[in-house]
Amino acid sequence: MEIELRDEVREYPKGTTVLEIAESISPNLARMAVCGKVGEDLIDLKTKLVKDCKLTIITNRDPEYKMVLRHSTAHCLAQAVKAIYPTAKLSIGPATEEGFYYDFDFKTPITQEDLPKIEAEMKRIIKADFEITRKEITREKALKLMDENEESYKVELIDAIPEGEKITMYSQGDFFDICRGPHLRSTGMIKAFKLTKIAGAYWRGDEKNKMLTRIYGVAFDKASEMEEYFKMVEEAEKRDHRKLGKELDLFFLSDYAPGMPFFMPKGQVVINELINFWREEHKKAGYVEITTPIALNRELWEKSGHWDHYKKNMYTFKVEDDTFAVKPMNCPGGMLFYKERVHSYREFPLRVAELGKVHRHEASGTLHGLFRVRCFTQDDAHIFMTRDQIEDEIANIISLVDKVYKVFGLTYKLELSTMPEDHIGTIKDWQWAESSLERALTRIGKDYVINKGDGAFYGPKIDIHIKDAIGRTWQCGTIQLDMQLPKRFELEYTASDGSRQEPIMLHRVIFGSIERFFGIITENFAGAFPLWLSPVQAVVMNVSEKSEAYAVSVAKKLEEAGIRTETDIRAEKIGYKIRSAQMQKIPYMIIIGENEAANRTVSIRKRGNLEAKDVKIEELINEMKQKIKTREIN
């Protein structure tokens, strides 16, 4: 059989294992090898290859290594739990983006205080350096083995495996588990780990099933990496937008409207500034803005395809004898806008933007502050064009993305998501759409990765993942090429030869969700927003009653200049007032004492700076207005 490696193609006998291939390349590679990768699938080193394929040997230098390490650590956790609590039943234990977890059914509940005891047993298992072995077994043997050991959840999992699919068992010491793998070669290869918390989790995620105990943990190749991780977690907790939202009076959530945020006056200021900036840049970029209804009837959602593909996430209600749905997306309304009159190729690209409020039925357990909500505003746009305008238009969108994110000091990465199983439209259309996006990304010279099978049901997309101040990534913007909705809504335009043609359409968002972006930048700036975004841009405070009148007059001048200003003339010591302003993360603290009142000056102290300096009020106003105009970052 022919095996395509990174730099060459080699022939091997059928049944050669991944490890044997690694050994044939170099002893060093064999020593460093963790697993293999065929297509998108990770496979164990001892897996026998039986046909031609493209093989990648994964080492600890590859990103896939982390998933293998975490999965093996999850098995180590399960072995430790079974050693300490023999009656505990196993369910599932996968690796995750953050670490790993394993779900157990304990006869006697455990608490957070029990985690150190489990960690100690895990360290013993790691020190024992048990070899991790893989073995293919029959369905009957797997069922018999798990039934004999009273592992009822494992029996249910085995029953769900399709007939004909291989069943593999991994063993380490006296512990075994039914698992696809792959895993490390031995438990001793686990270098650094920590159990972080316990939580409840319904079996198979169904609230009708029994609540199990989920133990979370993290694992790293080096202790130094784990130390850095926990520093980041500590910093993230300080920046948590839910905590800052409460402390800074930005927003709140109520049990009367789960997942639907309420914005306080200060939070609304930030929202308004984001929207003003958005409108300003979209006007420059040639967009027109529309508004479409928040609820439309069932016939429209059936026409768009959402009724068949998204109904479970939609809120529906009756009006007389008609069924309506609150919109989860703005797209169908945009289609009706386009159909309202005849269009010509001379109008293209036609860029139509909408700040549309949408509602989606998200499970209560997934709701998380402003990051996962049921009600949010999408900064949507639908761009109608001819086929030969696609590459230019994607370049224009990426240029707008660059311009917008730069204002917040954010960098980003691109991900091209391809056809999912649950899609509409022909394979031929999808192939053309995917290749069009690939050509556009290549042309503008942007690096990207492929996210296979994660496109929207109506078309492939380019997802934009931003990186924040402490290294976390967030998916915000997206560009989606859609040839399906124009077909379904029978959209047309008059071509240059007078014929009627179907337009190509791009969906795109920059912020993604105004609310989610608000939460992200709150954490990115740790609540210390740049001057232009700050709910309160300056606070004027007097030292004593003698300087009160002048302090009030200074505040009035700032307000007349368009600067958002508060006045603190409470009968408190100036140190207390300064600390209060610092807690509210106000950019400019303007201190007025008797000297300032006499000299008609102001003493300014900027956020994060212990030094104060005296300036004329006109000089201060000019400085602040310039920073606001240029949207300067701190």
Please tell me the distance from the alpha carbon of residue 250 to that of residue 268, in angstroms, as a whole number: 7
Give, in order, the Cα–Cα distances in Å from 407 to each of 281, 402, 532.
11, 9, 11
Look up tokens 């749905």; give the residue.
325
Task: Please give the DSSP secondary-structure letter assigned to residue 363.
Answer: -
374 classed as catalytic: no
Longest dimension (CA), the chain: 94
Annotation marks residue 507 as catalytic:
yes
Query: Left (φ > 0), alpha (ψ -120 to 50) or beta: where does 490 sit?
Result: left
Annotated catalytic residue: which of 382, 423, 577, 627?
Answer: 382
Quickly list DSSP for 252-289: E--TTSTT--EE-HHHHHHHHHHHHHHHHHHHHTT-EE
- Tell me which amino acid residue 79 is: Q
Residue of 79, 378, 480, 484 with catalytic role: 378
Catalytically annotated residue among 46, 360, 516, 605: 360
Q: Is 331 a catalytic residue?
A: yes
How many helices (H) and strands (E) the chain has is answered by 20, 34
Catalytic residue among 76, 179, 331, 476: 331
Helix or strand (DSSP H, E) at 79: helix 64-84
- Of the residues 461, 508, 516, 605, which is catalytic? 461
In three-state form (DSSP H/G/I as H, E/B as E, the rest C), the secondary structure along 292-313 is CCCEEEHHHHHHHCHHHHCHHH
Annotated active-site residue 482? The verdict is no
Integer Cα distance of 4 and 527 in angstroms: 51
Determine the Cα–Cα distance for residues 540 and 529; give it in Å rounded to an integer.
19
CA distance 301 to 310: 9
The per-residue DSSP string of 562-610 comes to T--EEEE--SS-HHHHHHHHHHTT-SEEEEE-HHHHHHT-EEEEETT--
Cα R_g (the chain), whole angstroms: 30
Catalytic entry in 306, 327, 374, 507: 507
Provide DSSP, 96-162. Answer: -SS-EEEEEE-SS---GGGHHHHHHHHHHHHHHT-B-EEEEE-HHHHHHHHHHTT-HHHHHHHHHSP
Helix (H) or strand (E) holding 84: helix 64-84
Name all contacts of 50-55 with Cβ < 8 Å and 24+ positions apart: 50/1, 50/14, 50/15, 51/1, 51/14, 52/1, 52/2, 52/3, 52/4, 53/1, 53/3, 53/4, 54/3, 54/4, 55/3, 55/4, 55/5, 55/18, 55/21
Specify whether 282 is catalytic: no
Question: Closest by alpha carbon to 14, among 48, 57, 55, 54?
Answer: 48
Task: Let me know if 380 is a catalytic residue.
Answer: yes
Between strands 411-417 and 588-592, the pairing is unpaired
Q: Is 179 a catalytic residue?
A: no
Point out the catalytic residue in the list 177, 379, 380, 568.
380
Query: Which residues are the active-site residues?
Result: 331, 360, 378, 380, 382, 461, 507
